[in-house]
Structure 1
Amino acid sequence: MAGRHQKVRSVGIEPEYLGFSPDGLVSGDDLTLTVDELEVLRLVDLERLSQAEAAQRMGVARATIASICERARAKTADALVNGRRLVIAGGNVAYASASCADAEPWPAKGEGIMRIAVTYDNGNVFQHFGKTQQFKIYDVEEGKIVSAEVVSSNGAGHGALAGVLAEGGVDTLICGGIGGGAINALNQAGITIYAGGSGDCDALVDAFLAGEVEQVEGATCDCHGHGHGEGHEHGHEGCGCGGHGHDHGEGHEGCGCGCH
């Protein structure tokens, strides 16, 4: 008799980080943590929801959450204790829409307008795309800014922000650090990314329109959990971020993250 078809699990955030490696020699084979397993850890262990609440969020039974949680914790413990690489991939999941009934509407985009969005924090480029609470959007016509406005991310985070930007008509994103999962989601949405930026948003957009901002290939944030924007500048020699200054609370000598 054929096995029972696995029910699709609803996931609220598309993973921004797709793998974690030990600081040193990797031991044994890679461990794969599926996206639904990661989501259960996020809801139960990070957001501190009950298993019943997590089950409601993901559209499955509470017993299913308990089983997934036990499996995910065991894999994470194995990776941490035994020095195995943890890969985030797979799972029968569907990403929940970031939109909600009480979300703040973004201004309509006119015909022939290019819309640029910049991760925003008090006039400057916010350094962690996945945690930005605001964007400053610039509508550009014939190479000139015709309007600019600060808008909300509507509570979305990480890869789910790609849907917010796409629904808002954004063509180009300018940001500081950004992870591989978010880049994939933005690429799928057809949004061009200029990462590694810093400083005043208005000045950076002016530089972009003047052709003075270069694209950085690949993820520019893989430091997993380091804080951003904490008022501690550090150098970028050899990190590949293009020499932009970024605020950060930790040193990253040799980490190759490119976002700091």
Structure 2
Amino acid sequence: MPRPRKWRKVCSLPGSTRFGPLNTPIDHEHYVIMTVDEYETIRLIDLEGFTQEECSKQMNIARTTVQGIYNDARKKIAESLVKGKILRIEGGDYKLCDGIEKPCMGGFRRHRCRRGFLEDNHF
């Protein structure tokens, strides 16, 4: 029996779930599917500037797992750009965080996750 997959904590869902060229036919062979947890690693590492270790703590998974998810996500973005495929974000093994403030990165900083920030500021 395989080991059950661990849920990845995600604090921000994408505002749009489909990106890509406007002139691409809408059929399954012109799509690249990115999971929500892959999207979260891209958001945390490339946009928010987290290290892979910080990202792993935020998502509550191992750093090596983050590294694999991140590499898969970047390949999918590259395939979408280079081959002109539509990138769809959907699915994955994730749970949306509750947005409650907690210690981060060894307790030196305190922050609210993006979900808590967005809800507090009504974005």
TM-score bracket relative to the smaller structure:
0.7 to 0.9
Partner of 1:68: 69
Does the 8 A contact of 1:40 with 1:69 survive in 2?
yes
Higher relative contact order (CA 8 A, sep 6+): 2
Structure 1 counterpart SS, 2:117: coil
Does the 8 A contact of 2:7 with 2:94 survive in 1?
yes
- Aligned-residue RMSD, C-alpha: 2.5
Partner of 2:11: 12
Letter aligned with residue 22 of structure 1? P
Per-residue CA distance 1:9-28 (angstroms, 9 max, x = gap): 00111221111121323484
Higher helix share: 2
Letter aligned with residue 59 of structure 2? M
Q: CA deviation at 1:78?
A: 0.1
Distance (whole Å) between structure 1 residues aligned to residue 75 and residue 63 of structure 2: 19
Partner of 1:22: 21
1:77-88 aligned within 5 A: 77-88=78-89
Distance (whole Å) between structure 2 residues aligned to residue 25 and residue 90 of structure 1: 22
Letter aligned with residue 71 of structure 1? D
Distance (whole Å) between structure 1 residues aligned to residue 22 and residue 83 of structure 2: 12
1:42 aligns with 2:43: yes
Structure 1 counterpart SS, 2:15: coil
Unaligned residue ranges in structure 2 (runs of 5+): 103-114
1:17-166 aligned within 5 A: 17-26=16-25, 28-100=29-101, 156-157=117-118, 161=119, 164=120
Distance (whole Å) between structure 2 residues aligned to residue 42 and residue 55 of structure 1: 13
Identity of aligned residues (%): 33
Which runs of structure 1 show a deviation greater than 4 angstroms over 4 or more consecutive aligned residues?
none
TM-score (norm 2): 0.78
Unaligned residue ranges in structure 1 (runs of 5+): 102-153, 166-172, 179-260
Q: CA deviation at 1:48?
A: 1.3
Distance (whole Å) between structure 2 residues aligned to residue 8 and residue 155 of structure 1: 19
Structure 2 counterpart SS, 1:156: helix
Does the 8 A contact of 2:34 with 2:73 survive in 1?
yes
Letter aligned with residue 37 of structure 2? D
Per-residue CA distance 1:94-124 (angstroms, 9 max, x = gap): 11122337xxxxxxxxxxxxxxxxxxxxxxx
Structure 2 counterpart SS, 1:32: strand
TM-score (norm 1): 0.39
Letter aligned with residue 70 of structure 1? N
Letter aligned with residue 14 of structure 1? L
Partner of 2:110: none
Per-residue CA distance 1:202-225 (angstroms, 9 max, x = gap): xxxxxxxxxxxxxxxxxxxxxxxx
Distance (whole Å) between structure 2 residues aligned to residue 53 and residue 47 of structure 1: 11
Q: CA deviation at 1:155?
A: 5.9
Distance (whole Å) between structure 2 residues aligned to residue 98 and residue 57 of structure 1: 12
